[in-house]
């Protein structure tokens, strides 16, 4: 992915994916402000990078993990316990990026799920452990900055109970964070009329995270606590041979201020999304189409004693159209999509926690970034075998990121500007090939499944402008080494292993 | 000295960067027009947002003319005057030379990478100046380096002095006057919109920032006063044939006080004392702030940082050294610690008429000054002796020898080695 665009690509995409993939540390803000704002050699788009876990729902993320997202957690979707196998374990490891410059993006996830039914009643529990590393910065040369978001694995879990009947189902779940905060989720589904049904879901989930920020030889470790509040409403209808669905969803991240530590960060997100989906059969072909739109605003404040010294904030928006088709009786289907994802943000970093002398002048580093990712792709994908067998898929994804950034040092009460830098990036388009390969295999009473997803750039189309920029070693700054003449390439990897005790084995 | 060094630090960080504006046109209109002044302030802020400091400066000055009590206009005029000075190409071309003796000056290069390097060096220089251990070599470093610069590049120092006196000092005084006017307001609080700063949030500026800027400006003025007090011009501008021996020859005008020099040094002392007064006022105001600090440009939490403590300590020491002898820890040539009495104020008031007479006994080799070993100071009439005109009250030749390691043997013996 990072190869998708020029010199700034690796870090930019690493950052982007870090957020979109839901790193459980809402951190990028810092990275945003420190990296871009300091305008040092490696410019990382603020908007794309800044917001950690609660990154808004993202089709880009879905594509990268190949729709193989973990089972919906009970703490946000209690009805997910219906129909679950009695026991299941899933482990996922995703080394997505490791750059020569020290930038690193990696995440891992393990969860154990158990469920049992008693007539119409169901009960279940989840326990998940998530860890992630999102590290970046620069430690050579005259500029030394860095961030390290993530660290120790975070565990969270929930217990849920629900009832399922012909005309509907309902469930409730609760979770407790390590610091004692309680989460709650409720979900209900009902038949409103023949061929019409509705689903509503709401949850509030406690979360926490850590973030280290380094400036020159000063490092500050911050922690944050917040609640993630989600709500979703969906209506499904069947008309003749077609099915229609309309979904509205909201996702807010709200920091827990009364627990703010001396050095802390507060992530904010407000996201609203809508989805329209239709599917049906045309002869022997099953077709489906989907339109998604979402937009919101994200922000992160990194503070000492309640006073923010690093801030990044900006809007985020995503649009995507998806179409798929496949034989009604076959195991495979083809899919095509096109979409656009936009992140913009402005960030600032005050130096008073790091350098009290600079504080006298009220020095601020500042940056603005604006990144738009236009993309389109096609894939052919096979459904997983019921018991034993191979399945997989192939995809071709064209990613065309475009944007610009500017950064400067705000001198003398932040009113003056020097050390100004700006650049356009993304004058290159990348063709990415993706492959998914999976094997389902029964073993005694268990069902095993292993899956591997690999993305790799196969071509980069550089515009004449980009080639010129690369050839001269930088855009607008002949003295900068920020733009290597060639884009680094990398391949994002996702490895997933699942073990289930199938229903009927209990 | 540590004091002065620290002052230099602060000065520099903002110093060359700041500066003030040329004498504003004093309003002769009898009537004030607060509404029109407010409009000019808004226009000034808009110009600031567009990076047009000259236009912003004009708007703020116009606002002052319409309503001198508009503290925001006073503040804006002061700050933009500093920016305009900072951006002055002539000053920027001299900044590199100035940097030789004053860490933190603006780098000369306009290149981004070069500026980054220079900034990084400046920061490190400032940091080491503030937190580093005291050594005699640091004492009066600025003065000594000024002398060195003057000796090595007399044309440069003369040029710098001329520009400082004619361009920089008047603007600094203008900025200080504007700040004093804003400080006189019953209360001063302004909120700078993100559209102006480009930052995500509104910034609040209050009297804390006014006092600190005032303090910094006074620090700059003090240094520049010292810089311009002495005559480093070369007779007949004969830069081609100048060397240390000819410059330091007894009776030359080089390194003597200008006619206005005594007054400049007195003013410099006053400036340095004002540094402490304003710095203390800023700290006191900040400590007593009771509003939400989230948007404050300089928040109360700054008072809890070690850097602040070091800065405050340095300024206290500077003040003490200016107002009477103090004991400062020093290290001799063998890295042994001992206490040294310093009365820095004696350098400024009454001052030293001829810096050449403050030097230790010396000779010249190939045109370069070499101290005679063991190091001694002349006490003949008109010379300062080892106390250097009372700046080091308890200093003796023996202690200088201990300090510098220049203990002998006598030149004749050394010559036989």
Rg of chain B (C-alpha set): 23
Compute the average pLDDT of residues B77-100: 73
Final residue in a domain of this structure, among B323, B350, B384: B323
How sure is the predictor about A360, in pLDDT bands with cuts at 50, 70 and 90? Answer: confident
- Residue B354 has what DSSP assignment? B
Out of A157-166, A204-213, A446-455, B70-79, pick the least confident. A204-213
Chain B CB within 8 Å of residue A408 CB: yes
For residues A227-237, average pLDDT: 95
Report pLDDT for A145.
Answer: 56
**B262 and B382, same structural domain?**
no
Separation of alpha carbons B61 and B64, rounded Å: 5
Whether B352 and B38 have beta carbons less than 8 Å apart is answered as no
* Rounded Cα–Cα distance for residues A233 and B319 (Å): 69
Beta-carbon separation of A410 and B13 below 8 A:
no
For residue B205, which residues of chain A lie inside 8 Å, CB to CB? 362, 413
Over residues A20-77, the pLDDT tens digits come to 333 322 233 333 332 332 222 222 222 233 333 445 677 777 777 776 555 788 999 9
- Tell me: the pLDDT tens digits for A296-305? 998 888 888 8
Buried b (16+ CB within 10 A) or exposed e, A98-132: bbebebbbbbbbbbbbbbebeeeebebbbebebbb
| Interface probe with A: pick from B5, B298, B303, most Cβ of A within 10 Å | B298
Query: Does residue A285 sit within a domain?
Result: yes
Structural contact between residues A145 and A138, judged by C-beta atoms closer than 8 angstroms: yes
pLDDT of residue B307: 84
Taking alpha carbons only, the member of B178, B132, B94, B118 closest to residue B5 is B132
Same domain, B309 and B335: no
Could you give the residue ranges of the DSSP H alpha helices within A37-189? 37-38, 46-49, 59-64
Which helix (H) or strand (E) segment holds residue A494: the answer is: strand A493-501
- Quote the radius of gyration of chain A (alpha carbons, Å): 23
How far is the alpha carbon of B121 from chain A, nearest alpha carbon, in Å? 8
Number of domains in chain A: 1
Domain end: B323, B349, B369, which one?
Answer: B323
Contact of A177 with A208, CB cutoff 8 Å? yes
Residue A485 — very low, low, confident or very high, per pLDDT cuts 50/70/90? very low
Of A321, A319, A334, A336, the closest CA to residue A278 belongs to: A321
pLDDT at B9: 38
Q: B205 pLDDT exceeds 70?
A: yes
Look at residue A41 in the predicted model and tell me its pLDDT. 24
Where does the pLDDT of residue B147 fall: very low under 50, low under 70, confident under 90, or very high at 90 and above? low
Instruction: Give pTM, 2 decimals.
Output: 0.74
Q: Which residue of A has its CA nearest to B115?
A: A419
Q: Do A360 and B13 touch (CB under 8 A)?
A: yes
Highest mean pLDDT among A166-170, A491-495, B193-197: A166-170
In a 10 Å sphere around its CB, with 0-12 CB exposed, 13-18 middle and 19+ buried, how is residue A246 labelled? Answer: middle
Alpha-carbon separation of residue B74 from A131, B70, B202 (angstroms):
54, 6, 20
Q: Which two tokens stand for residue A252?
A: 């807010």
Question: Is residue B324 over pLDDT 50?
Answer: yes
Which of B265, B288, B323 is a domain's end point? B323
Locate the chain A residue with the closest alpha carbon to B198.
A366
Give Cα A59 to chain centroid, integer Å: 9
Start-to-end CA span in chain B (Å): 38
Q: Is A216 on the interface with B (CB under 8 A)?
A: yes
> Is B410 found in the same domain as B373?
yes
pLDDT at B133: 35
Compute the distance between CA of residue A297 and CA of residue A252 in angstroms, rounded to an integer.
Answer: 10
CB contact under 8 A, B197 and A418: no
Q: How many Å apart are CA A413 and CA B189, to the nearest integer?
A: 14
Contacts of B338 (CB under 8 A, 6+ apart): B329, B330, B331, B332, B402
Residues B162 and B126 in one domain: yes
Computed over every residue of chain B, the mean pLDDT equals 77
Structure token digits, residue A45: 């788009």
Range of the domain at B345: 327-416
Contact list, B111 vs chain A (CB under 8 Å): 477-479
Give the residue among A23, A15, A29, A260 at the shortest CA–CA distance from A153. Answer: A23
pLDDT of residue B135: 36
Instruction: Give the ranges where A50-144 is alpha helix by DSSP (H).
Output: 59-64
Residues B78 and B185 in one domain: yes
Please tell me the distance from the alpha carbon of residue B119 to that of residue A451, in angstroms, as a whole number. Answer: 51
Candidates A371, A346, A466; CA nearest to A6 is A466
Judging by beta carbons within 10 Å of its beta carbon (0-12, 13-18, 19+), is residue B318 exposed, middle or buried?
buried
Tell me what the mean pLDDT of segment A129-135 comes to.
Answer: 72
Put simply, the answer to whether B14 touches A480 (Cβ < 8 Å) is no
Instruction: Kindly tell me if the per-residue pLDDT of B341 is higher than 70.
Output: yes
Listed residue (A20, A1, A32, A127) closest to A69, CA to CA: A20
Does position A264 have pLDDT exceeding 60, yes or no? yes
Subunit contact B216:A410, Cβ cutoff 8 A: no
In the predicted model, what is the mean pLDDT of residues A213-242? Answer: 86
Mean of pLDDT values over A216-241: 88
B317 and B345 in a single domain? The answer is no
The answer to whether B7 and B315 have CB atoms below 8 angstroms apart is: yes
Contact (CB, 8 A) for B271 and B201: no
Respond yes or no on whether the N-terminal peptide bond of residue B44 is cis (omega within 30° of 0): no
- DSSP state for residue A143 in the 8-state scheme: -
CB of A347 within 8 A of CB of A407? no
DSSP category for residue A476 = S
H or E element in which residue B85 lies: helix B71-86
Q: How many domains does chain B have?
A: 2
In B, minimum Cα distance to A346 occurs at B200
Q: Are A107 and A113 in contact (CB under 8 A)?
A: no
Check residue A371 and give its pLDDT: 82
Report yes or no: A344 and A315 within 8 Å, Cβ to Cβ: yes
Indicate the average pLDDT of chain A. Answer: 77
Q: Is A311 on the interface with B (CB under 8 A)?
A: yes
Q: Is residue A165 part of a domain?
A: no
Which pLDDT value is given to residue B414? 41
Band (A242; pLDDT cuts 50, 70, 90) = very high
The answer to whether the CB of A406 falls within 8 A of the CB of A421 is yes
What Å distances lie between residue A54 and A227, A299, A493, CA to CA?
Answer: 10, 11, 22
Contact A190, A158 (CB under 8 A): no
Q: Which residue has the higher pLDDT, A183 or B246?
A: A183
- For A38, the domain range is 2-139+187-501
Q: Does any domain span residue A222?
A: yes
- Report percent pLDDT > 70 for chain B: 73
Q: Residue range A369-385: average pLDDT?
A: 88
Contact A34, A84 (CB under 8 A): no
Q: How far apart are CA A239 and CA B228, in angstroms?
A: 90
Q: What number is the average pLDDT over the span B380-385?
A: 87
Predicted confidence at residue A427, as pLDDT, reads: 58
ω into residue B374 within 30 of 0, thus cis? yes
Report strand pairing: B368-371 vs B256-257.
unpaired
Shared domain check, B201 and B305: yes
Q: Is the pLDDT of residue A205 over 60?
A: yes
Residue A192, CB-side half-sphere exposure with 13 Å CA sphere = 11
Residue A215 above 80 pLDDT?
A: no
Contact status, residue B130 vs residue B2, Cβ threshold 8 Å = no
Cβ–Cβ of B311/A143 closer than 8 Å? no
Q: Do A142 and B116 touch (CB under 8 A)?
A: yes
Same-domain pairing of B363 and B248: no
Give the pLDDT confidence of B27-46 residue by residue, as tens digits.
455 578 999 999 999 999 88
| For residues B386-407, average pLDDT | 88
Structure tokens at A419: 């050390």
Separation CA B24–CA B393 (nearest Å) = 44
Tell me the pLDDT band of A380, cut-offs 50, 70 and 90. very high
| A94-A96-A100-A103 Cα dihedral, nearest 10 degrees | -90
Residues whose CB is less than 8 angstroms from the CB of residue A60 and which lie 6 or more positions away in sequence, other chains included: A16, A17, A20, A318, A339, A341, A373, A375
Q: Which two tokens stand for residue B142?
A: 């600025």
The helix or strand, by DSSP H or E, that contains position B130, with its residue range, turns out to be helix B112-131
Measure the CA–CA gap between A103 and A107, rounded to whole angstroms.
14
Whole-angstrom distance, CA of residue B370 vs CA of residue B362: 5
Q: Which residues of A touch B301 (CB under 8 A)?
A: 304-305, 307, 352-353
**Residue B151 sits in the same domain as residue B38:** yes
Do B171 and B256 fall into the same domain?
yes
Restricting to A residues 346-405, those with a Cβ less than 8 Å away from any Cβ of B are: 346-348, 352-353, 355-362, 364, 366, 368
What pLDDT does residue B182 have? 94
By mean pLDDT, which of A2-16, B249-263, B348-362 is the weakest? A2-16
| pLDDT tens track for B95-112 | 555 543 333 333 333 333
Here the ipTM equals 0.72
Q: Is the pLDDT of residue B395 over 70?
A: yes
Q: For residue B179, is it left (φ>0), alpha (ψ between -120 and 50) or beta?
A: alpha
On whether residue A180 sits in a domain, the answer given is: no
Residues B285 and B387 occupy one common structural domain? no
- Residue B298 has its nearest CB partner, among A359, A409, A478, at A359
**Taking a C-beta distance cutoff of 8 angstroms, is the pair B282, B215 a contact?**
yes
Does residue A197 fall inside a structural domain? yes
Do B171 and B29 share a structural domain?
Answer: yes
Task: Write down the pLDDT at residue B136.
Answer: 36
């Amino acid at each position: 992915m990072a190869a998708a665009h020029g010199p700034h690509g690796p870090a930019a995409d690493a950052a982007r994916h870090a957020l979109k993939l839901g790193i459980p540390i809402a951190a990028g803000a810092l990275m945003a402000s420190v990296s871009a704002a300091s305008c040092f050699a490696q410019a990382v788009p603020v908007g794309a990078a800044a917001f950690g876990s609660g990154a808004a729902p993202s089709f880009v993320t879905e594509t990268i993990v190949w729709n193989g997202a973990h089972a919906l957690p009970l703490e946000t979707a209690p009805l997910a316990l219906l129909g679950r196998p009695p026991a299941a374990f899933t482990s996922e490891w995703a080394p997505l990026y490791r750059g020569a410059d020290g930038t690193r993006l990696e995440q891992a996830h393990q969860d154990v799920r158990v469920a049992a039914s008693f007539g119409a009643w169901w009960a279940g529990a989840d326990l998940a452990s998530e860890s992630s590393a999102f590290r970046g910065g620069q430690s050579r040369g005259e500029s030394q900055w860095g961030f390290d978001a993530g660290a120790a694995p975070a565990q969270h879990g929930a217990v849920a109970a629900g009832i399922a009947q012909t005309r509907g189902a309902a469930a409730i779940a609760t979770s407790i964070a390590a610091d004692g905060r309680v989460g709650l989720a409720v979900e209900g589904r009902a038949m409103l009329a023949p061929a019409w049904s509705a689903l509503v879901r709401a949850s509030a989930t406690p979360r926490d995270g850590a973030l280290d920020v380094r400036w020159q030889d000063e490092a500050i470790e911050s922690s944050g606590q917040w609640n993630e509040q989600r709500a979703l409403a969906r209506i499904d209808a069947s008309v003749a041979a077609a099915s229609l669905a309309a979904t509205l969803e909201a996702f807010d991240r709200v920091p827990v201020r009364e627990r703010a530590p001396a050095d802390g960060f507060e992530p904010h997100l407000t996201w609203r999304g809508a989805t329209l989906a239709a599917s049906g059969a045309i002869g022997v072909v099953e077709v489906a189409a989907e339109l998604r739109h979402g937009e919101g605003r994200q922000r992160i404040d990194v503070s000492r004693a309640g006073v923010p010294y690093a801030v990044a904030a900006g809007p985020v928006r995503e649009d995507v159209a998806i179409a798929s088709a496949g034989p009604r009786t076959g195991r495979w289907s083809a899919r095509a999509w096109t979409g656009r994802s936009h992140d913009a943000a402005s960030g600032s970093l005050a130096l008073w926690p790091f350098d009290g002398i600079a504080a006298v002048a009220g020095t601020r580093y500042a940056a603005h970034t604006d990144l738009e990712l236009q993309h389109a792709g096609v894939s052919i994908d096979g459904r997983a075998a019921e018991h034993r067998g191979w399945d997989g898929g192939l995809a071709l994804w064209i990613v065309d990121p475009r944007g610009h950034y500017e950064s400067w040092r705000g001198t003398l009460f932040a009113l003056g500007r020097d050390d100004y830098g700006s650049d356009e990036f993304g004058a290159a388009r990348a063709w990415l090939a993706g492959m998914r390969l999976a094997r389902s295999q029964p073993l005694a009473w268990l069902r095993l499944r292993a899956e591997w997803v690999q993305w790799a750039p196969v071509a980069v189309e550089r515009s004449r402008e980009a080639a010129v920029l690369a050839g001269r070693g930088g855009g607008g700054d002949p003295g900068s080494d920020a733009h290597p003449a060639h884009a680094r390439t990398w391949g994002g990897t996702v490895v997933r292993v699942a073990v289930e005790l199938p229903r009927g084995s209990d | 000295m540590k004091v002065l060094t620290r002052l230099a630090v602060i000065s520099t960080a903002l110093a060359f960067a700041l500066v003030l504006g040329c004498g504003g046109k004093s309003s002769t209109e009898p009537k004030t027009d607060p509404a029109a002044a407010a409009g000019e302030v808004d226009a000034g802020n808009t110009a600031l947002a567009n990076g047009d400091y000259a236009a912003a400066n004009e708007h703020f000055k116009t606002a002052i003319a319409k309503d001198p009590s508009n503290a925001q206009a006073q503040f804006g005029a002061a700050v933009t005057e500093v920016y305009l000075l900072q951006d002055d190409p002539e000053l920027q071309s001299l900044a590199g030379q100035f940097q030789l003796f004053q860490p933190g000056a603006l780098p000369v290069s306009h290149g981004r990478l070069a500026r980054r390097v220079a900034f990084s060096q400046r920061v490190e220089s400032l940091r080491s100046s503030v937190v580093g251990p005291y050594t005699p070599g640091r004492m009066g470093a600025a003065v000594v380096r000024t002398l060195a610069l003057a000796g090595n590049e007399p044309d440069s120092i003369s040029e710098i002095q001329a520009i400082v006196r004619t361009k920089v000092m008047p603007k600094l005084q203008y900025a200080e006057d504007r700040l004093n006017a804003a400080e006189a307001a019953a209360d001063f609080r302004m909120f700078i919109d993100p559209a102006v700063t480009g930052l995500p949030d509104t910034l609040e500026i209050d009297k804390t920032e006014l006092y600190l800027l005032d303090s910094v400006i006074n620090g700059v003025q003090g240094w520049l006063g010292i810089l311009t007090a002495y005559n480093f011009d070369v007779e007949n501008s004969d830069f081609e044939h100048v060397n240390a021996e000819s410059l330091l020859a007894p009776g030359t005008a080089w390194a003597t006080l200008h006619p206005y020099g005594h007054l400049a040094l007195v003013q410099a002392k006053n400036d340095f004392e004002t540094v402490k007064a304003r710095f203390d006022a800023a700290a006191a105001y900040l400590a007593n702030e009771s509003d939400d600090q989230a948007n404050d440009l300089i928040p109360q939490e700054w008072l809890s940082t070690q850097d602040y403590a070091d800065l405050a300590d340095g300024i206290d020491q500077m003040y003490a050294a200016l107002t009477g002898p103090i004991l400062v820890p020093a290290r001799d040539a063998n890295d042994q610690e001992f206490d040294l009495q310093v009365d820095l104020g004696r350098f400024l008031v009454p001052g030293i008429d001829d810096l050449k007479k403050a030097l230790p006994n010396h000779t010249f080799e190939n045109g370069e000054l070499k101290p005679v070993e063991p190091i001694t100071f002349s006490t003949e009439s008109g010379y300062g002796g080892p106390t250097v005109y009372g700046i080091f009250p308890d200093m003796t030749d023996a202690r200088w020898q201990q300090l510098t390691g220049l203990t002998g043997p006598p030149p004749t013996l050394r010559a036989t080695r």
